[in-house]
Structures are given as C-alpha cells and as structure tokens.
Chains A and B, each alone.
Chain A
C-alpha cells in the first residue's frame, strides 16, 4: 500500500518533467489553471449557498423525519427494512449525514447483519445527487437543467433497489 500511495505524486512529477522537456512554461500554465479554477469557484458559491440552505432547513425542521415516517409503511411493503428508510431519504442530500446514519445502523444492528450489509451497499453505490448537480451546474451557471435531475434520481433509486437485492 505504501507504493500505491506514491503513484499520484510520481505521476505529478512525470507530468511536470514532461511539460518542461516540451518547453512549456510550467509555472505560468499552473498559475493560469489555478486562476480559472478560482473564477469557477466564485460562480459555484451562490449555487452551493442555495442548495445547502434548502437542505439545512429541510433537515433542521424535522421535515425529513416526517417524510420518512410517512413513507416507511409503503417502503416496507416494497421489501425495504424500516431502519433503512431515513438513510435512503437523506442519501441524495448529505454525504456526511448518510455516513453518520450508516455508523448508527452498523452499531445498532451489527455490521454483518442484513440491515448493516444493505445500508453499506446503499451508501457505497449511490451519490449525493443534489450536491453533484448543484456543483456542476453552478460552475457554468446553467439553470435550465432539463433531464439531469430526474435521471440522477432514477439512477439513485435503481442503485438503492439493486443494492438491497444483492447485499
């Protein structure tokens, strides 16, 4: 594992050395790249602010909890174990939040129990959809996001369902 961790730094050395040999002004290129990223970051900030505000209000108010209680019976009929419902509801909104729920579930039910395995697979095979979408669309200022959000949500649901079946 020690060697594996050296792969990326060595790759960076190789890129820098190769660029120097190719007579690229490496220092200037690096500064230009960083400069562009700072501008992207500034255009990203408003979208992050909007999305995180919405998520913070939704979580803080307990609305997400009500929603979970509401859909739990239906979810159980579909074969989703009740303790997994809050995890599935939070997963698209918060990466750190869903890892915290995963930890709670693994502690309470055991990491190798059916609930523990299903929760692990769900967290591993899905993404923080609303975060991903707001970062990428935010960077280019696209507000007409078309099919991206529904396709991302469908993808997350399929990942969750297949995850539960295979876990």
Chain B
C-alpha cells in the first residue's frame, strides 16, 4: 500500500511540475521534502527520548504491570494478539485523549515495536492500533481552540462537543473498517 501511495503521490506531483516546465521547482520540492524529514525527526527526538527514558524507568519499577493487567481485557477485544503491548497502547491512547501529543507518539512507537513480529507485515492488531491513532479522540482540541480565539470567535469552545462526537464517529469507523478490511488485505 505505501509502495503505491509513495509512487503515485510523487509521480503525479513531478508530472504536474513537468507540464508546467518547472524543473527547478521540482528539484527544490524534492529537496525540501527530505530536508523536512531531518527537521521533523529532530523535533520529534527531544520528547521521544524523554518519554522513552521515563517509560523504561516506570517499567523496571513495575508501574506498567498494573496498567497492563487493567487494560488487557478491554484492549484485547480490539487487538487479539496484544502481547506485551497493553501498557504502551493504553498510555498512547490516554496521552492522545488528554492532548499530550508529544508523549503520545513515543508510547505509540513503543506499542508498535511490541506488536511487531519482525516479518515486515502488519498484524491485525498493529493495523487496528494505527487506524485508531489516525482518528483523533481528544478531550480538548487545543490547537483549533487557539486558532479560533486568535481569529476573534465569540465562543471558541462551542466546537468542542461536535468535534468530540465527530472524532468518536471516526474512531468507531476506524475500528469497524480495520476489522472488516483485515479479511480483504491478506
């Protein structure tokens, strides 16, 4: 899938550049992409290192065991081959919910590492987890509220409830389609 996504997006973009006769623009856009990856990786690195270190401390202190035990049952309804990933999955979903995006990504990466079987193929549980992470169930959409406030909204918070309900619908759709499509994509 990513194979196709990558080739189609890149090829379509480059062809449009070619039609416009803008070769220099095409090269600049290509270079901006890879350069942007370095910037983004560096931005991610700080919080990623911090939370991975703290997670390891919490784990060795036995703190994540309790969380795993508590969350294993409900989570395995969604992800049958959860394995040792219950704690990072729960922490990822909780961090997302409370809008701590910086912490959510490291926990999510830890979760997929534990769901991975090293065969280069997504398991049903891994696909479910990633689909769920692509829907944004969040208590307060802080960045949207900030933009609304900056743009002079009379009531910036008035979109919170519709946003929450729409993101619940998105999460629900992610669960259903990941379950059903698992049979189509072998």
Residues of A participating in the B interface, judged by any CB pair closer than 8 Å: 8, 12, 15-16, 18-19, 22, 24-26, 29-34, 36-38, 40-41, 44-45, 48-63, 66, 99, 102-103, 106-107, 111-112, 116-117, 120-127, 129-130, 132-137, 139-152, 154-160, 162-163, 166-167
Beyond A54-B5, A148-B127, A159-B135, 18 extra complex contacts between A and B, CB < 8 Å: A19-B63, A36-B56, A40-B109, A49-B33, A53-B34, A54-B13, A57-B26, A121-B163, A139-B113, A146-B186, A148-B178, A149-B1, A150-B1, A151-B181, A154-B174, A159-B169, A160-B166, A163-B166
The answer for the CA separation of A159 and B71 in the assembled complex, in Å, is 26
Taking the closest CB of chain A, its distance from the CB of B112, in whole angstroms, is 5
* B26 near A147: Cβ-Cβ < 8 Å: no
B97 at interface (Cβ–Cβ under 8 A)? no
* B174 near A106: Cβ-Cβ < 8 Å: no
Taking the closest CB of chain B, its distance from the CB of A63, in whole angstroms, is 4
Taking the closest CB of chain B, its distance from the CB of A68, in whole angstroms, is 13
The answer for the CA separation of A163 and B141 in the assembled complex, in Å, is 13
Task: Please indicate the chain B residues that have their CB under 8 angstroms from the CB of A158 in the complex.
Answer: 169-170, 172-173
* B177 near A54: Cβ-Cβ < 8 Å: no
27 contacts between A and B (CB under 8 A): A19-B63, A29-B60, A32-B53, A37-B49, A44-B41, A52-B33, A54-B5, A54-B10, A61-B22, A61-B26, A106-B148, A121-B159, A121-B162, A125-B136, A125-B167, A126-B136, A127-B136, A129-B134, A136-B133, A139-B109, A146-B185, A148-B122, A154-B177, A155-B135, A155-B173, A158-B172, A159-B173
Task: Please indicate the chain B residues that have their CB under 8 angstroms from the CB of A60 in the complex.
Answer: 13, 17, 25-26, 28-29, 32
Which 4 pairs, one residue from A and one from B, show the smallest C-beta to C-beta distance? A33-B56, A159-B170, A53-B33, A57-B13
* B122 near A146: Cβ-Cβ < 8 Å: yes
B67 at interface (Cβ–Cβ under 8 A)? no
The answer for the CA separation of A148 and B136 in the assembled complex, in Å, is 15
Task: Please indicate the chain A residues that have their CB under 8 angstroms from the CB of B181 in the complex.
Answer: 146-147, 150-151
Task: Please indicate the chain B residues that have their CB under 8 angstroms from the CB of A166 in the complex.
Answer: 162, 165-166
* B154 near A112: Cβ-Cβ < 8 Å: yes
* A33 near B57: Cβ-Cβ < 8 Å: yes
Residues of B participating in the A interface, judged by any CB pair closer than 8 Å: 1-3, 5-6, 9-10, 12-14, 16-17, 20, 22, 25-26, 28-30, 32-34, 36-38, 40-41, 44-45, 48-63, 100, 105-106, 108-109, 112-113, 116, 120-122, 126-131, 133-136, 138, 141, 143-144, 147-148, 150-156, 158-159, 162-167, 169-174, 177-178, 181-182, 184-186
* B37 near A45: Cβ-Cβ < 8 Å: yes
The answer for the CA separation of A106 and B166 in the assembled complex, in Å, is 20
Task: Please indicate the chain B residues that have their CB under 8 angstroms from the CB of A33 in the complex.
Answer: 52-57
Task: Please indicate the chain A residues that have their CB under 8 angstroms from the CB of B154 in the complex.
Answer: 111-112
Taking the closest CB of chain A, its distance from the CB of B68, in whole angstroms, is 16
* A15 near B58: Cβ-Cβ < 8 Å: yes
